[in-house]
Structure 1
Amino acid sequence: MSGFIEGVNRDQTTLFPERLEDWVGEDNPVRVVDLFVDELDLSALGFHRHAAARTGRPGYHPAVLLKLFIYGYLNRIPSSRRLEREAGRNVEAMWLTGRLVPDHKTIADFRGENGPAIRRTCAEFVELCRRIGVLKGDCLAVDGSKFKAVNNRDRNFTKAKIASRLAHLEQEVGRYLEEAERADRQETGEARTEKIAHLTSRYHRVRLEMDRMVTLRRELATTPDGQISLTDPDARAMATRAQHSGHVGYNVQSVVDAETHLIVVHEVTNQGHDRDQLASMAGAAKTALRRDDLHILVDKGYFSDGEILACHEQGITATVPRPDTSGSRVHGRYVKADFAYDPDKDIYRCPAGEVLSYRSTVEQQGLQMRRYWTTACPGCPLRNRCTTNTLRRISRWECEHLVEAADARRRDASAPMRIRRSTVEHPFGTIKAWMGHTHFLTRRLANVRTEMALNVLAYNIKRMVSLIGIRGRMAAIPG
């Protein structure tokens, strides 16, 4: 006796089950994937069914490849080459595909050619969750997160980066010329020839790089956002929360249900900020949930007067903190929040007790702004703490009551901002943990959107399974 658990002798005859069905338990998640895809109308969703060539073999049914991809993202296997290997050796994948083993190019082409249909499949699962009553959407949270693209930071250029690079290259050119001149004076014979040849070669390489930078600078002048990415043209440099850091990637927006943590809708953009995303994301969530009203929580990065108004017009209640963008408080001066507004009298009252009356209306950035001031400022003892100008003028947007209400809701006893953090940041953390310390596998915005849709679909399936179990999920899918 060796004292250890011993395995079976490799030469011993083993009677494996004759059916793949016997290898897949009733509570295996692949059964959910299989039933969900079988119940989809793939043609209506827009999946392409390739006809066989005149002399070629028939193509794979879209359901087979879709099942394989969903299985892959559920199990952190997004690579088409790895999926090809799993299809030939993994019992669950064999059961799911009927022991078909598509090659990696066929698998990758399916993802690239059926992007819109895959994204609609992700939305179809959300609709299924809504129909069976699991997803109600009483309170939602919105947030964005930056995901890395294939593009490295060194292959993303802005005007400032090109100018810095050119300045560095010009210094190198000057240094090589000085070294060549010094070698010409001090070296002799073969050593001098080799050194001059080496410096000349490096000089020409630097000149070629300078020419490339000049060409990029010329191309940069025609780009609308002042950036060029060479590996993935749609990727953009984006700042992150860490100071003086960032990466080239995409901004992924998601709307998450506060009760179930299911992702209701999502979108991938290459905008580095969230200011213009609130109304569109909230509107998409309202449509997906088929609700007449909606309450949505966001952080101050989404604050925008126009977006809050757009939400109000759609019947959406947005809770948005108002950021303090004024630098006056830092310098010890009063800010707008220190002036109390009286809606009944349409006046502001300043910290000194003076009344600021309505004087005129002006247009600023497309918004109608009402202006208030008082003529008592020159003789006010608090004037130095209030303004550096002769008069302190207060501007008020005609729909500012919506902004004030959106900001006031965050102070509610239910602590909505804490709900937002614990709701919307959970799915992002989970998906990034699945992806690991890496980037999107595909390039271009359309393909990245497809890749993200598969991640979201896998997350929602796994989340739903954890909420109601495999058997409950199977029973909920109409069949």
Structure 2
Amino acid sequence: MRSLPITQLIAAIRRVARQVPGATALVAAHCHAHDYTDPGKPKIAWDDEEAKTALVSGLVTDALTLLDHLSGQDLDESAGHAVGLLALIAGQDVEPADGSDGTDGRWRIARRTAPDRIISTVDPEARHIHKSGQQRDDGYKAHLAVEPETGLFTAITLRPGAGAAHHEAAVAPDLLAAERGPLQILADAAYAAAELRATLTDAGHRLLIKPPALKPAVVGGFTLDDFVIDTSAGTVTCPAGHTVPLAAAAGRYQQRRAAFTGLCAACPLRDRCTTAKTGRIVTIRPHHDLQSAARHQAATGSR
């Protein structure tokens, strides 16, 4: 069981006690899972899962009780922020225990990570940063624009490490806002999102941004680039020469699909193409042609 949500709950309750008028008395009267005047960690056996589970239940109950007593009060900005932060912390990392709906006071640390999770009560804008599946950090991302010939920084911004509004694709146009005329833009793969590539291309810029590598459906097998995809004609031809229609864009991500069902069963290339019993389905997203051209550029070194 992770201890960070426990320490965050305690810190958030202590902050409310400090910053909200009258909250110190409320904490003393109604919150009993921990001595909130003690800045140290709770004195429990941390290798005892039952003890930690009981502590989590008590802390969440204390937080909800405190929030209930403060509900409807007219608070200034500092106090309101402290109460809002407690509400977020109490909700983002916990869930009802097995067989509970939460009304019986039994809680556990959630077995998932909340989107846009607050990781620090001291610095609420900091976020988890997942550079890759193995490389993880906490904090912020610095985004830089540099003129390559002189090495001069032309723009810089610091953003929380997660969230759609802080993604490289959202930040990059702001870094280039003060530039005049079309540019040749070099960037790392973090800035290779299809939407950003389309935005920069439409603005007349020339891009040298390596796109993400494709993953084959079968290890060592065919990737999307081994299929002939004609988005204008609405067709997809597989490595074995079968051509099927490409459906219209649909769904949340406006994807287009081409289904080879019925054609794969006897295909001699099946083992290199798919493990699906019903056959290969090719899926493409918006701006497929731009990303395909970028992969070709990266593979051949063409400009």
TM-score w.r.t. structure 1 length?
Answer: 0.38
CA distance in structure 1 between the aligned counterparts of 2:6 and 2:150, rounded to whole angstroms = 39
CA distance in structure 2 between the aligned counterparts of 1:368 and 1:374, rounded to whole angstroms = 18
Instruction: Give the gaps of 5 or more residues in structure 1.
Output: 1-152, 160-164, 176-205, 417-479
Name the residue aligned to 2:36: none
CA distance in structure 1 between the aligned counterparts of 2:249 and 2:204, rounded to whole angstroms = 28
Q: Which of 267, 280, 285 pairs up with 1:380?
A: 267
Change (3 A) 1:350 1:221: same
* Pair 1:334-2:222 in alignment: yes
How far apart are residue 209 of structure 1 and its match? Answer: 7.8
* Pair 1:218-2:90 in alignment: yes
- Asked if 2 retains the 8 angstrom alpha-carbon contact of 1:333 and 1:386, the reply is yes
Change (3 A) 1:241 1:363: closer
Pairs within 5 Å for 1:428-439: none
Name the residue aligned to 2:128: 237
Change (3 A) 1:408 1:319: farther
CA distance in structure 2 between the aligned counterparts of 1:351 and 1:158, rounded to whole angstroms = 54
- Asked if 1 retains the 8 angstrom alpha-carbon contact of 2:126 and 2:160, the reply is yes
Change (3 A) 1:364 1:305: farther
How far apart are residue 233 of structure 1 and its match? Answer: 1.4
How far apart are residue 229 of structure 1 and its match? Answer: 0.9
C-alpha offsets along residues 291-325 of structure 1, whole Å, 9 cap, x if unaligned? 2x122222223332222222223333333323235
How far apart are residue 345 of structure 1 and its match? Answer: 6.1
Amino acid in the other structure paired with 1:338: D
Q: Which of 281, 289, 294 pairs up with 1:406?
A: 294
Instruction: Give the gaps of 5 or more residues in structure 2.
Output: 10-40, 64-85, 95-113
Q: Work out which of the two has the higher radius of gyration on C-alpha atoms and give 1 or 2.
A: 1
Amino acid in the other structure paired with 1:301: A
Change (3 A) 1:158 1:359: farther
- Asked if 1 retains the 8 angstrom alpha-carbon contact of 2:257 and 2:281, the reply is no
Q: Which of 147, 159, 163 pairs up with 1:257?
A: 147
Name the residue aligned to 1:453: none
- Asked if 2 retains the 8 angstrom alpha-carbon contact of 1:370 and 1:398, the reply is no
How far apart are residue 255 of structure 1 and its match? Answer: 1.4
CA distance in structure 2 between the aligned counterparts of 1:402 and 1:250, rounded to whole angstroms = 30
CA distance in structure 2 between the aligned counterparts of 1:382 and 1:347, rounded to whole angstroms = 20
Name the residue aligned to 2:159: 269
Pairs within 5 Å for 1:358-373: 358-369=245-256, 371=258, 373=260
CA distance in structure 2 between the aligned counterparts of 1:410 and 1:239, rounded to whole angstroms = 24
- Asked if 2 retains the 8 angstrom alpha-carbon contact of 1:371 and 1:395, the reply is yes
What secondary structure does 2:48 align onto?
helix
Change (3 A) 1:262 1:168: farther
Question: Cα RMSD over matched residues?
Answer: 4.3
Q: Which has the higher contact order (CA 8 A, sep 6+)?
A: 1
CA distance in structure 2 between the aligned counterparts of 1:411 and 1:171, rounded to whole angstroms = 54
* Pair 1:297-2:186 in alignment: yes
CA distance in structure 2 between the aligned counterparts of 1:155 and 1:395, rounded to whole angstroms = 39
Name the residue aligned to 1:324: 213
Change (3 A) 1:371 1:276: farther
Change (3 A) 1:398 1:315: same
Amino acid in the other structure paired with 1:363: A
Name the residue aligned to 1:97: none
State how many pairs are aligned.
223
